[in-house]
Amino acid sequence: MNAPFLLTQPKSGMFTAENLNETDFPHFVVELKPAKRSKIWQLKEANRCPLIGTCLSVDDLLRFAKRYHFKALSNDAFLLHVEMVNYMATRNPISEAVQKHLDARYQLFIARFESAKTDAEVLNLWKQCFTHGEIAGALWAALTHKEVSDETRGKIYADIHMHAHQMGAGQAADARRLIQLEKDHAEMKIAMEQQKQKHERTEAKLRQRLQGCLAEVQHLHRVEKNLTVLQARLATIESGKTMTEMGQRLMKLTIDNEQLQTTVRQLDQLKQSLQLACNKIASLIRDREILTEERDTLKARLLTVTTHDVPDELPHSCGEPQIQHDCVICVGGRIALLPQYRSLAEQLGIHLIHHDGGQQDALSRLPEMISRADAVICPTDCVSHAAYYQLKRLCKRNGKPCLLFRGTGVSSFATALAKLTSGKASINSVDLDLSEKITE
């Protein structure tokens, strides 16, 4: 890079007074050194080859080959190396990527070589790194240094070249030494295994002896502890302290006995209170049974007088028409009161059919049963939600009178039948006057 000055030959008569002018001075052609570090494609092939071989690992080479689709096979490192060196001859995406990769990897060496301001300093710094085995990073930083000359690059190449020969020559000796070391290693491994087995046997015997000694020591500790306790008890007995403690214990037991007797008396009182409570409960049960009998008697009485009482309550007694329903379906209600429901309906001349709202009867039967009936009544507090909403939809769809009421007793049922026969019913919570519907 540092070429000598090139001086052109002066023209004859150039320096005469007549023709001496500014344009006729000799022209000096100077090859300037680069102001920046050299790029890899600016180096000679002799420098590019060791750079690629030394500064790029085989893994790096394979990654670049896969990324840029090299023609060489991935298992042939030499052909990959040759193809990479050929790519480094010109500036292209591959050479730029390698330049960027090596600058990033060896930036510490580049910064270190920045302290070298002359070609000689670059060579000295290279020699130091080469001596200490810092070859790859120093090689990249030295060959691309802005102050390095071709002569220094040649010396660096020579060092790398001879280093490669020495490494090749040393590999054979290393291989022989490696074989001998592997043989020695195998023999030592066998000897160590035998020694290990012997040591393990010895260790097992020692462990057994140790376990026996530990067991004996524990036994001695227990004996010593028991002996100490017995000695302490003997000293206490001899000092009369034991009799004092026994007297205190006896006094404490006497007090505890009195407390237990008091507790027994309290338990007896609680038993008496419990007996009184049981008697009171039995009395309440009898009262409940009497009230139940009275309730049943009142319901039976209601059934007997319904035919006389209902006309007083029905609207037709006030001049309103009475509607006769031959067949009425009751959805829900109490199963136990179903015979009384039927008896009351028969007294009014109504044939009553019943659907339990989905407890035992399937809801799928509900549409057919509603279609057969003239009207529908439903105790809303004793029917399932599904049956409730389904019968409302069916009544609205079929135009069936539907009377919804609260209460599951016989009196509530009787009132509902009275309202139904008087023409008061609803479909989906909309009150209807059945007498007007019939007249229409």
Q: Within 240-350, where are the H helices? A: 241-313, 338-347
**Could you give the angle at the alpha carbon of 260 between the alpha carbons of 259 and 261, nearest 5°?**
90
**What mean pLDDT comes out for the span 235-255?**
82
| Average confidence (pLDDT) over 424-437 | 48
7 and 26 Cβ atoms separated by less than 8 Å = yes
Within 10 angstroms of residue 440's Cβ, the number of other Cβ atoms is 5
Residues 268, 264: Cα–Cα separation, whole Å: 6
Q: What pLDDT is recorded for position 29?
A: 43
Nearest in space to 52 (alpha carbons), one of 65, 67, 33: 65
User: In the chain, what are the domains?
Assistant: 40-148 (no CATH), 317-439 (3.40.50.2300)
Note the pLDDT of residue 77: 85
CB 372 within 8 A of CB 327: yes
The whole-number pLDDT of residue 311 equals 42
pLDDT in the model for residue 313: 41
Query: What per-residue confidence (pLDDT) applies to 20?
Result: 41
pLDDT digit string, tens, across residues 358-406 = 888 888 888 998 899 989 999 988 888 998 999 899 999 988 899 998 8
Selected residue with higher pLDDT from 34 and 10: 34
**pLDDT band, very low/low/confident/very high, at 215 (cuts 50, 70, 90):** very high
What does the pLDDT read at residue 191?
Answer: 92
Integer Cα distance of 43 and 91 in angstroms? 11
DSSP 432: E
Phi, psi of 370 (to 5 degrees): -65, -35
The CA-based diameter of the chain, rounded to the nearest angstrom, is 164
- pLDDT tops 70 at residue 186: yes
- State pLDDT tens for residues 113-127: 888 889 898 899 999
CA distance 404 to 429: 8
Query: Taking residues 170-198, what's their average pLDDT?
Result: 82
Answer yes or no: are the C-beta atoms of 325 and 420 closer than 8 Å.
yes
Q: Once rounded to an integer, what is the mean pLDDT over residues 130-140?
A: 87
To which H or E segment does residue 175 belong?
helix 150-239
Tell me which residue has tokens 């049960």. 285
Residues 6 or more apart whose CB falls under 8 angstroms from that of 197 comprise none
pLDDT digits (tens, 9 = 90+) for 64-109: 999 999 888 888 888 988 988 999 989 999 989 999 999 899 999 9
Q: How many CA atoms lie within 13 A of 89 on its CB side?
A: 7
